Amino acid sequence: MLRWLKSPATETQVTHGQRLWLYAISVLIMTLLVIPTLIVVPMSFSHSQYLEFPPETWSTRWYGHYFGSSEWMQATTTSFKAAVLTMLVATPTGVLAAYGLHTSRIRFVRVTFVLMITPMMVPLVLVAIGAFYAYVQMGILYTITGLVLAHTVLALPLVVIVTGAALKGYDMSQEQAARSLGAPRWKAFLTVTLPQIRFAVVTSALLAFLTSFDEVVVAMFISGGDNPTLTRNMFNALRDQIDPTIASISTIMILVTTLMMVLAQLFGQQKKPSK
């Protein structure tokens, strides 16, 4: 231990002992980063009205409350439907766009790329009230269709950026080789390029799912009626009181997110195509 403290930690020969303050602060910050979210999990299993930690009596009362409420169940269904559909629409649309922008080197490409990432830059509130107005005109307010379209627009920049980055690191001459051997472009893309950028595509798809599943502000305006999202209902509940049911829903949402990330990692492990 003492030897470790005196051993150099950096190229400039600062020892570990001299950097103990940095280690202490960092561990503290990392704890503060993780704990607030994770502490909700045990709290959700408390029997009490008031969220306690550690819970005095454990129970699944609030989960019962959640699964027993038709309102929460309806909102959960809407959220999952919207997230899956957003994933299914945003991924192919975004991958096509990224591929199109990458291969066609015409003048508008830069401008189009900026257009593609505008949904990331425009304040969400503005997107929300704009979509609200447009949907009233189009008659798709409070529909899943409307929700999916808006969430797709929010997810597109992520898909285009992640897939675009993968395409930049991919050697296009492989696709050209396939084409010179007679494969049409679409076939060359599907059988040669796509398998090699598939980690990026899967990551984009999961990001699109999460974008929709976690989105609050836009959903606040354009979801409702028969199709409120989970986040919309949660947000409204938060404004009123601290309902322990929210802790159980939060736990479930953490679980969904973690699952998505583990999936992304699993796909990331097999970097080389198995063929």
Compose the 228-247 pattern: x for residues touching another protein by CB under 8 A, - for all others: ---x--xx--xx--x---xx
CB under 8 Å to 254, separation ≥6 — which residues?
Answer: 37, 38, 40, 41
- Rounded distance, CA 219 to CA 237, Å? 15
Q: Which of residues 1-40 bind another protein (CB under 8 A)?
A: 9-14, 22-23, 25-26, 29-30, 32-34, 36-37, 39-40
Tell me the window of 57-65, 67-75, 174-182, 252-260 that interacts with another protein (CB under 8 A): 252-260
CB of 2 to another protein, least distance (A): 21
Selected from 53, 139, 269, 275, the binder of another protein by CB under 8 A is: 53
Question: What are the Cα distances from residue 51, in Å, to 40, 44, 58, 61, 166?
Answer: 9, 7, 11, 12, 45
**Could you say whether residue 156 binds another protein (CB under 8 A)?**
yes
In this chain, which of 97, 167, 197, 201 binds another protein, going by CB under 8 A? 97
Tell me which residue has tokens 């051993």.
7
Least distance (Å) from another protein to the CB of residue 275? 26
Q: Which of residues 113-142 bind another protein (CB under 8 A)?
A: 115-127, 129-134
Closest listed residue to residue 152, CA positions, set 204, 224, 226 = 204
Residue pair 198/190 in contact (Cβ under 8 Å)? The answer is no
